[in-house]
Structure formats: C-alpha cells, structure tokens
C-alpha cells in the first residue's frame, strides 16, 4: 500500500514539473512575440511615409477645425440683426440710378425664367392612367387562357408617326388560336423590346375612328373612319382603343360598315400577298387555273372574288353547306368535301381526317385536272405538298397562307439572346445602309395593300363575308366557332 502511494506521489511530481516547464516555455514565447511586435510597431511608427501621412492628417484636421470656426463666425455675423440691418441699408438706402434698377430687374427676370424652367423640367409628372376593355391571353395554355380584361392599359397620346384609333369592330382569326398556344412569343418579346410578352391582346385587324394623330402624320386626320392590320408579333386589335403606326392604317371603304369592313384587312392582305407570290395579277390571270383549298375561309373568300374578277378559272374546296356561298363568290368549280358524322364538333378525329384526305385525293385523281397554282388557306384537308404537286402543271406552284411554323418559339434563354443580338444588329445595319426592313414577311400589312382593297370594295367586285358577330364577353363562343370547319367567312367582335 505504501509503495502504491509512493508511486502515485512520484508521478504527480513528474506531472507538476512538466507542467511548469510548459508554462515557462509559453511565457518565454509570449515575451518574445511581444518584443517583436513592439519592434515592428516602432518601425512602422517611425517610417517616413507614415510620419508624412500623420503630419498631413494633422494639418488637415487643423484646417477643418479652422474652417469650421470661420464659418461659425460668419453665420453668427450674418445672423446678427444689426449686421443684417446695416447690409440692407447699404443696398437699398442709397440712391439708385436707372442703370441699377435695370440691372436689378434684368436679374430678377432672368432668375425667374431660369427657376421656372428648372422647376418645369424637374417636375415629377404623374402618369395618366386610362383603362379599357381588351381581350387578352394571360398564358399559353390554349383558348382557355383567354380573358376579358376590364382594366387593360389604354394608350392616350401619340408619338410623331402614330395614330390613336377608337376600335369599333375586330375579327377573330385562326392565328389567334395559335397565339393562345404560344405562337410567336419569342419574336414578340424581341421585336417589342419587352421583358415579358404576356399578356398579349388578340386580334389582327380592326375598323374604327381616329381620335388623335402624331405631329408628323400627314396622310390621315382626326375623325377618319379607318381599317388596319398588324403582324402576329404585335399587340392585337381586340380592344377598345389602339395606338398604331400610320403605315398600317388606311381609310376604310365608304360603302360598307365597320363590322363588315373588319373581315377584309388581314384576310385581304394575306390573299394579295399569296397572289403576288404566285405572280398572278389582273393582266395575266385570264384562263389560269387556280385551286383554292379552303374556299370558305376568310382568305379563300377574298381569293375567289379577286380571281373571278380577273377571269381566272377557280376551283375551290368546301362543304355542302357552303356550296351556294362559294358559287356566289365566283368559283367556277367546286370540290365538295366529305361530311363527317359529327359536323358540329370543332375538330375531327384522326380517322375522320384520314378518310376525308383520302376522299379529297381520290376526287382530284378522278378529275385529272392540272392547276397553275394551288393555294392552301384552310386546314380541313392537310394533304402534304408532295401529294398536291401531282396535280400541278409543269411550272405550277403551291402557296400557303397559313401561319408558318416558328422554330424560335422553342428557343431557350441562350438561343433567344443570340437571336435578339442578330435581329438588333441586322436592323442597325439596315438603318445605317438605308435598306428597307422586312419584318418577318409582314411587309404586305401596310396602307398600300389596304388602299388596294378599298379600291376593290368601292368598285364593287370585292364583297364582305361575315358569318357571326359577337360581343366581347362572347369571345369563348367566337373562338369555338372559328375552330368549326363548317364556319364560313369571318367571325367578328363588335365593341359598339
């Protein structure tokens, strides 16, 4: 037992000695570090650069204190009523000469003008907010995303080349259905230079009355009854008021009303563009054979009338219900499409469509006709160009007025940035070189085309074809109606 106590005591002594050694070494290290730190601090403190900096800082503080004292004395001196009275007497108590009075008045006048100018320029202008009713697409989920906005922002002032139109009526087009599903969203954001392309107002054409014009507008006047058409990447026309560039606006025909007239601007522009692409005009259309696929569409109705007036031989496709209409428009021959079992539905099943295409192809083969031009204006028959080319003459051509597919709609952020850079660079080069801009094949939507349509209407050989007229709150019914393959002519929304 004693031996165990002895060993424990011996180990404790050894531990105590080691602890003292460690503490002594730690103390020596701290003393050494402290001495080195003092030496480094003294070297920095006595460094010439640091000494100069201390001297400059001290001088700066003294000058600041001196300036503050002088400013205090001046303020006290100026605030002294006695000093203010003496200064007032020195200025106004002497006898003023005519020269002094003129200088004083001039100073007051110039100072007042400068102050007023600065005040007007710096005045915080309150934005004028006006609201209107508009039919808009709030997201790209199809026709179900269309809403009637009662508080849409209404334009109220024109820039130099713009006109403000009070919309009376606007048509609903098939492209509006595609816009509801995202058609043109990338180009819409780039070309409108907007962070977001939503909400987008639907409608591609309208009629109305001009309520205001820009300072440099010379072709139009306030009070003119006009019609207009806009491209797919612009905000649409299904709203109560619209601000648009004067180049897209023309006076509407005087012999038709607002609702009838709005069936022609967009459809007529596409029809004239298709005829120009096919190189058909009044001078060479005689006896040309043209197949209009979709004779009851808005574009088809315009094409049939123009081609008939130019004495071309027009064959049009339509359903049995529309035969009297197509015949009255001037079609010399008709291909009556097979009626489906569910004529009131907006879309056909794949089996029904396949049967219809086969029947249409069989009818073309049975006839054995060859056409100079085939113009596709509707989707009721979706034969591809390879099948249709078998019914063309040697130099014949196939033209489509349907909206072309846009690969840019599926672009991601990086590719969208590249496309934006390319478009902006292209436009800057065109402006620099003075070249005309081609806004994605929409140059035909301008007042020149609309003026031609006005002449056709006023001369009496272009008639309006309106199937249904709805109020804005019936937009869902209107969109449902234009999807029906049995609809004829244009579907119109009236804002009156």
DSSP string, 299-363: HHHHHHHHHHHTT-EEEEEE-GGGHHHHHHHT-SEEEEPPPPS-TTSSS--HHHHHHHHHHHHHH
Tell me the sheet residues that pair with 171: 492
Q: Please state the φ and ψ torsions of residue 18, each to the nearest 5 degrees.
A: -60, -40
211 φ, ψ (degrees, to nearest 5): -110, -15
Cα distance between residue 178 and residue 191, in whole Å? 18
CATH code of the domain made up of 131-229+238-244+438-494? 3.90.180.10
| Region of poorest pLDDT, from 69-78, 236-245, 303-312, 380-389 | 69-78
pTM of the prediction? 0.71
Q: Are the CB atoms for 361 and 387 separated by under 8 Å?
A: yes
The domain ranges of the chain are: 131-229+238-244+438-494, 270-403
What is the C-alpha to C-alpha distance for residues 488 and 319, in angstroms, rounded to an integer? 10
Report the distance separating Cα 170 and Cα 161, nearest Å: 23
Q: Which residue has the higher pLDDT, 299 or 46?
A: 299
**At residue 346, does pLDDT exceed 60?**
no
413 exposed, middle or buried (CB, 10 Å; 0-12, 13-18, 19+)? exposed
Q: How confident is the model at residue 37 (pLDDT cuts 50, 70, 90)?
A: confident
CA gap 188, 232 in Å, rounded: 8
Q: Find out whether 244 and 207 touch, Cβ atoms under 8 Å.
A: no
Q: How confident is the model at residue 478 (pLDDT cuts 50, 70, 90)?
A: very high
Of the listed ranges 215-224, 377-386, 415-424, the one predicted with least confidence: 377-386
Average pLDDT value for the chain: 83
At residue 373 the predicted structure's pLDDT band, cuts being 50, 70 and 90, is very high
Taken in order 190, 191, 192, 198, is the CA torsion positive or negative?
A: negative
- Tell me the per-residue pLDDT of 225-263, one tens digit each, with 9 for 90 and over: 999 999 888 889 999 999 999 989 999 999 899 999 999
The CATH class for the domain spanning 270-403 reads alpha beta
Cβ partners under 8 Å of residue 439, min gap 6? 191, 231, 233
The C-alpha atoms of residue 85 and residue 123 are separated, in whole angstroms, by: 37
**% of the chain surpassing 70 pLDDT:** 84
**In this predicted model, what pLDDT tens digit does every residue of 112-133 receive, in sequence order?**
788 777 776 665 555 556 788 9
């Amino acid at each position: 037992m004693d031996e165990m106590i002895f060993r424990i005591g011996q180990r404790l002594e050894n531990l105590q000695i080691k602890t003292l050694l460690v503490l002594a070494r730690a103390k020596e290290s701290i003393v050494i570090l402290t001495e080195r730190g003092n030496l480094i601090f003294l070297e920095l403190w006595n460094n010439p650069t640091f000494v100069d900096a201390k001297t400059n800082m001290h001088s700066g503080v003294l000058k600041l204190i001196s300036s503050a004292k002088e400013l205090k004395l001046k303020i006290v001196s100026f605030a002294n009523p006695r000093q203010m009275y003496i200064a007032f007497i020195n200025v106004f108590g002497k006898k003023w000469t005519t020269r002094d009075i003129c200088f004083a008045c001039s100073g007051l006048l110039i100072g007042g003008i400068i102050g007023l100018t600065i005040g007007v320029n710096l005045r915080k202008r309150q934005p004028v907010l006006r609201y209107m009713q508009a039919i808009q697409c709030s997201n790209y989920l199809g026709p179900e995303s269309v809403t009637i906005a009662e508080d849409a922002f209404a334009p109220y002032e024109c820039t130099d080349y713009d006109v403000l139109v009070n919309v009376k009526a606007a048509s609903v087009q098939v492209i509006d259905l595609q816009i509801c599903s995202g058609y043109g969203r990338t180009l819409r954001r780039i070309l409108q230079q907007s962070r977001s392309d939503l909400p987008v107002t639907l409608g591609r054409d309208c009629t109305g009355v001009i309520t205001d014009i820009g300072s440099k507008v010379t072709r139009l006047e306030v009070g003119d009854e006009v019609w207009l058409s806009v491209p797919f990447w612009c905000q649409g026309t299904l709203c109560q008021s619209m601000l648009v560039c004067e180049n897209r606006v023309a006076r509407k025909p005087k012999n038709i009303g607002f609702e009838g007239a709005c069936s022609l601007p967009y459809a007529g522009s596409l029809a004239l563009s298709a005829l120009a692409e096919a190189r058909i005009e009044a001078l060479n259309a005689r006896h040309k054979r043209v197949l209009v696929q979709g004779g009851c569409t808005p574009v088809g109705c315009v094409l049939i009338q123009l081609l008939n007036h130019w004495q071309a031989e027009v064959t049009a496709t339509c359903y049995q219900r529309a035969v009297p209409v197509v015949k009255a428009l001037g079609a010399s021959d008709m291909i009556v499409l097979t009626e489906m079992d569910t004529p009131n539905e907006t879309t056909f099943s794949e089996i029904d469509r396949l049967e219809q295409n086969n029947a249409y192809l069989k009818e073309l083969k049975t006839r054995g006709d060859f056409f100079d031009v085939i113009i596709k204006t509707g989707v009721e028959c979706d034969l591809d160009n390879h099948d249709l080319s078998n019914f063309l003459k040697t130099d014949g051509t196939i033209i489509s007025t349907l909206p072309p597919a846009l690969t840019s709609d599926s672009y991601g952020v990086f590719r969208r940035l590249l496309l934006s850079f390319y478009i902006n660079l292209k436009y800057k080069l065109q402006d620099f070189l003075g070249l005309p801009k081609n806004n994605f094949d929409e140059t035909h939507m301008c007042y020149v085309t609309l003026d031609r349509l006005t002449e056709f209407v006023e001369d009496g050989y272009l008639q309006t074809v309106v199937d249904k007229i709805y109020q804005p709150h019936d937009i869902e019914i209107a969109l449902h109606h234009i999807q029906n393959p049995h609809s004829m002519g244009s579907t119109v929304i009236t804002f009156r």
